[in-house]
Structure 1
Amino acid sequence: MTTAGRDSPGTDVKTNGFFAEPLHDYTVRCLGGPVTLLQAGSLAPLRELGIGELAEDGFEISVTAVDADHPLAKRALDDARTGYADVIVGDLRTVPIAQRAYDIVYCAGLLERVQHVELVLDRLVSALKPGGLLLIRTRDRYTAAALLDRLLPGPARKALWSRLHPGTPGPFPTVYEKAVCDAGIASYTLMRGLVIAARGTDRTLPSQPVRLSSAMRVTYAAISRLTRGRFGDSHDELLYVIRRPQDQSARVV
């Protein structure tokens, strides 16, 4: 089995049933060969997929990583390069990615920091085999955390990142296109004929250091009140399990 990738920045990542259960079910149905997984995003917390548990049960998972040609992404991928079957770096709109080659595409910590989100998603969907799963974890543009991330000056963002996510490359540039929200993802899947099998939310602010974490929570709550809930603080990330249909006549890129 080939596994790699970093844990979610600054957190003690554990298996997340939201992603691990559908991955387990898919893997069990794919007896007879290794499951191929494309990790889109250099900081994707692979541990939450439960790959280690699958390995203990005798299943093979081959992981390829892909990310934009950015110094921080290269640094993160270089740190874990020996654990990947392959590493792909380049313009995510054009970089060569084999079509219909992967059972699972796991996209985490990526969409909020790239431009042309729909084109990037098209490339990732095209890499999926019919019936494959697209697992998405992304910041929600319309949250207090995302608004603060966009408004903070660069030096302040770097200082916060170093305190909240020590030892992890970052912070990446902020983009947060309008498609990076629940309505945007829902619209994309509808237009491409994809099926949302599950959707959820998550709060990912690290608990350490305690004083800074507490101050951030107070700040998020204040932003939510000042914006009358338009940028809420009930969550900061969106989670999706999306299936590419087996039917080749469906509108899938």
Structure 2
Amino acid sequence: MTELSVRDRAVVEHDLFAERVRLHVQDKGLRRVHILEAGCGRGNGLPLPDDLDRHITGIDLDTPALRARTADRPDLDTFHLGDLRNAPLPPRAYDVVHADSLIERITHAELVLDRMVAALKPGGLLLVRFTDRDSAYGLIRRTLPRRLRRMLGEDVQRTHPSVFEPITSLEGMRNWCLQRGLVIAEAHTETGCGGGVAALARLLSTATGGRLTADHSELVLVVRKPENRFARIL
């Protein structure tokens, strides 16, 4: 696996991912791109160009809030409601899997990621964005109650309870990819917090001697599944 450092600059996740989808379609000569939106009741869809022929399938838990949010999304051609750990995911059915703000809020995140990779076609892309548990912001979101975070200026109205398993870090994702023969093609940082939360993150970073960084809150990764059918993939 090619090891890449997190780039020391912020990126707009949606623009980055949409461009990677466009290039993937171009490189593969796809007539239609099949996309799985994992955790579609929480994240946002990709701003794909109108002339791109695509079929988008959404999947998320069957709760009233997530069901309503999923049903209201105009970009989804179809959707399924169920636990990502056992919901039906056809093997090698999708060119792209997009998981926005998902893996930090679920248990058995590695199992879910394994199932999403199994649903990817060889050469397909896994596009993930999540809060870095090893950042100061990650510690705040793991330990500080919603009420206090709201008082510090963070928008937590639609935030689901977070779990933050070890894989929700750059090192965790690198180890997971290495064990499965996946390639991290790109790794970026993004900061989406301000106000009192950002100030608290800076204090935490100083108090830990920089071990918990306040330079970013999110990790944005482009992971590629190998073309080689003999690769160590599910």
Q: State the TM-score, normalizing by the size of structure 2.
A: 0.86
Q: Is the CA contact 1:35–1:62 (under 8 Å) kept in the aligned structure 2? A: yes
Query: Which residue of the partner structure matches residue 191 of structure 1?
Result: 179
Query: Which residue of the partner structure matches residue 6 of structure 2?
Result: none
Deviations along 1:206-241, whole A, 9 cap, x unmatched?
xxxxxxx32222111011112222221100111111
Query: Which residue of the partner structure matches residue 36 of structure 1?
Result: 34
Return closer, same or farther for 1:143/1:156 CA change in 2, 3 Å cut-off.
same
Query: Which residue of the partner structure matches residue 86 of structure 2?
Result: 94
Deviations along 1:110-138, whole A, 9 cap, x unmatched?
00000111101011101101111101111
How far has the Cα of 1:164 moved from its partner? 4.4
Query: Which residue of the partner structure matches residue 60 of structure 1?
Result: 53
How far has the Cα of 1:14 moved from its partner? 6.3
Query: Which residue of the partner structure matches residue 18 of structure 1?
Result: 16
Aligned pair 1:46/2:45, yes or no?
A: yes
Give, in whole Å, the separation in 1 of the partners of 2:23 and 2:185. 13
**Identity across aligned pairs (percent)?**
34
Query: Which residue of the partner structure matches residue 128 of structure 2?
Result: 136
Aligned partner of residue 136 in structure 1, secondary structure: strand
Query: Which residue of the partner structure matches residue 191 of structure 2?
Result: 203
Structure 2: give runs of 5+ residues left out of the alignment.
Answer: 1-10
Q: Is the CA contact 1:40–1:107 (under 8 Å) kept in the aligned structure 2? A: yes
Query: Which residue of the partner structure matches residue 118 of structure 2?
Result: 126
Q: State the TM-score, normalizing by the size of structure 1.
A: 0.80
Letter in 2 for 1:197: A
Q: Is the CA contact 2:132–2:168 (under 8 Å) kept in the aligned structure 1? A: yes
Give, in whole Å, the separation in 2 of the partners of 1:75 and 1:160. 27
**How many residues are paired up?**
223
Q: Which has the higher helix share?
A: 1
Letter in 2 for 1:246: E
CA RMSD of aligned residues (A): 2.3
Give, in whole Å, the separation in 2 of the partners of 1:67 and 1:220. 31
Higher relative contact order (CA 8 A, sep 6+): 2
Q: How does 1:105-116 map to 2 (within 5 A)?
A: 105-116=97-108
Deviations along 1:133-185, whole A, 9 cap, x unmatched?
1011111001111111121224335x459x6448xx62201200111100100
Structure 1: give runs of 5+ residues left out of the alignment.
Answer: 1-12, 206-212
How far has the Cα of 1:27 moved from its partner? 1.2
Aligned pair 1:252/2:233, yes or no?
A: yes
Aligned partner of residue 121 in structure 1, secondary structure: helix
Letter in 1 for 2:70: L
Aligned partner of residue 65 in structure 1, secondary structure: strand
Return closer, same or farther for 1:62/1:69 CA change in 2, 3 Å cut-off.
same
